[in-house]
Structure 1
Amino acid sequence: MKKLGFVMVLIVFLLAFPKSGEASSSSANIFLDGEPLNLSSGVQVANMKGNVMIPIRVVSENLGFKVGWEKASQTVTVENSEKTVRMVVGSQQAELNGAQVDLNLAPVLNGPTTLVPLRFVSEQMGLDVKWDNQSKAVYLSSAALPTTGAEIDPGEGTNSGSQTPPTVESGNKGSLTGLSFSDNRLMIATEGAVTPKVFSMTGPDRIVIDLPDTVYSASFLSGHAVNAQNGGSMEAGEYSDVTNIRYAVFSDNPPTVRIVLDLTGPKNYAVTQESGIIIVDLNAEGEILVPPVPPVTGNGKKTVVIDAGHGGSQPGAISANGNQEKVLNLNVALKVEALLRKEKNINVVMTRSDDSTLGLSDRVKVANSLKADIFVSIHGNSNNSSSPHGTETYFTRDASKPLANVMHKHLVKATELMDRGVKYSSLHVTRETTMPAVLLEIGFLSNKSDEAQLFKDDFQNRVAQGIVEGIKEYLKVQ
């Protein structure tokens, strides 16, 4: 994750691009968060059969995602902090975190570059997409995206693109049977084993309820309108803090239904579940946090949260030799943890200690709820070219820059790799945390020289020691 950690997609508005039988130069302007993308000289946007196609160079340079290119197999890999998309030139079948999905148009070779469909890449990587047919402009938005996956705009589209909503007859674990809102409470009726994942978001403010391993039941479909993209909405009545209630099929694999409460502003809530009824109560004094925050004792110690990036179904970057970034991240993080537990003046908390899948918002919630003193996220780097190499450190907020400088100094000394400097980037875990926070990119998995060091035990031990020394210097602990 080199730049934007758009952890999780507000999508999907189907783009009504004008039809075209062959590729042609496109006069469409592309805006990201209201600012026009300044494309490098010679970079051309193409219109192919009604689809805006962009060079993979734009995806890496302008949209900020990690992009990999395997020349032998003609495979393009696009990654952010949560998702990995693989596309093959000439194939309308792509992979999203290992699951097969369909493309409207296959990637194509165009001279020295590869063109990929803008809408598909943007949506899957966490950007809200809108097409203005009058001005012939594409508007991409990255503001406050969900971090557990793609947030669908239920009234307009679906992540999967399927036309028939799956129902409980599919043999899944649970089903959504009813949905209602009254007295400032959302009531969700379910059958089977349904465990909700609930979190709040800003920009705009909303509460998101994910129902994993859940499909629409026949009774739900008979009482609630579902459009061709498997989504719909219902009114919230006279309660002014909720402007709309949306629902949609968030994912087909695993089957997941997402419900979104659009709010007029920040709102506390509590979640209860009993006898097949999930209640999201907006009358609550406070918010129930997901996941539960591990207990940490006080005693005047400094609290450090160590975050091993990626994990579980999110492998992160994959090297040419098949090494996964998530493995590197966890190995180093566990070594850091072991060293910090020997420090009498430091409490250490891990966001994950095994190969589990964890959303970016959950990582942030752990740190913020603990009121941690610092947050350190550990990652390996990657690039579409095998040339870049070395160590770099990222921060977002000005308050985090001193920590970034100290951590980077020790990290570069420990890795003995090229010093690529301290850099700013709007990454979710460094942006949404309330304490000084940094993201460490130890080295490049896409570079053979770096990779040869990254998975060596003695190298990881040096890196872990360097991270601990940086933490101790910044916190001024002995």
Structure 2
Amino acid sequence: MKRLWVGAGLLLGMLALPQVAMAAGGATTQLFLNGKPLAAEVPPRIISGNTLVPVRIIAENLGAKVGWDDRTKQVTVTSGATKLVLTIDKPEVAVGDKTEQLEVAPTIVEGNTMLPVRFVAEKLGLKVTWDELTRSVFLYKKSSGTAAADSGANGGTSGAGGSAAAGAGAAGSTGANAGAGTAGGTAAGGASAGVAHAAEPDPDSKPGIVQAIDFTGDRLTIKTNGVTTKPNLFHLSGPERLVLDVPYAVLDEALKAKLNGTVGEIAVQHPLAQKIRFSNYSSDPPTARIIIDLKGRAELVPVEAKQLQPGQFAYDLKLAKYLVVIDAGHGGKDSGAISVTGKMEKTFNLAMATKVSELLRKEPLIEVQMTRSDDTFVELDDRVAFANTRNADLFLSIHGNKYTASSTGTETYYYRDESLDFAKTIHKHLVPATGFADRGVRQEPFRVVKGTTMPGILVEVGYLSNKNDEKKMFDEAFQNQVAASLVAGIKDYLNIQ
């Protein structure tokens, strides 16, 4: 692949939450809007006791417009009659014709512009809450009628993008993994969206009542007094748990009597579940929450309403598969690198991606999807969105390299810190399989590994500009061997025997 960079997209952040600390090496902060996990190129950060998070996805969901002036280093956020002008490294912010002070100035992190958000969120009409238990930021529109993500107790409710900035190029690789802007996406840090929220109930109506929570066999049953809006279901990792929010509903007196403080607990004996917790999660709006703490990877499969009594919701707890997205670099009008004998990189990439996918389909715990399965051109941001909107667990992009005739070797690239272990694991299996020189695990802001929200890496199997590398790379036995090594690396990383 031919290396061409267009700099990181303008990312704005929106949340200053007082006195919330997160160590640099701590758990990744997750971001939600109206209960929907949001994808962000960089996770929310804590700076001087204030939380800063990316904004593009928030801005898009709110219909706000975001502008960037490279000369003045100013960010403009406009929503209706509200206009905010913020300047990098300066605490002053213009709100219409007035000037106000931020607790922490906008800054740039890893090439991304970040803003402290509570100030901006309130100006745009958002409600903002921090959930310390899950290290999650919850944002929701005050008219949404629902709360958002996980907490074992009462907590709060809950990515980025914008204009491209110019970047520098570098030699030594061969793919057009460049791109401007940012893909959309709905996952963040292992969270996956479930049922969409419904319209806000009549504010004069009384909240529904959750009357009973039962877990028998594999089935979780929630009995209510006639709640008709489906619970919002989503998954959170670190640790693994499944969360069900029953919108505009509260626990009945019998369940409230079982609360220890703010949280009740149901003991279970199940190979996939440790326990079930429940609480009156939010009072504005009223939301009852049920959390299944998992022993491993699992999913809740909704039971059809026609099998249930009115006011009942039921889900079967099942072993969940890992979703792995395999990306064959280039394709269609984008040939990628041309080899020393005139072969196209896109052909090699597709052959490898197909072989890897065929092997993964034999694994009972893995579901695999390809960003392209034929000679089709797919935009870089569309590859990112493909993985993000499917809430994939892993993303692997396959390429061939090109530089000089003497260049040889295998490289594995990552960008986000949470992808490093995946990169190291794959590289450990890949290098012996290729037999090429070990050129190491490297960090680069390639579009497809920067924009994906799950662990994502890009492998450069060998150099198409090198006669010996190229000969092997188009040999089917070599391709089969390399494909097997990539599958072994994926299974190793996922701890699948």
TM-score range relative to shorter protein: 0.3 to 0.5
Bigger radius of gyration: 2
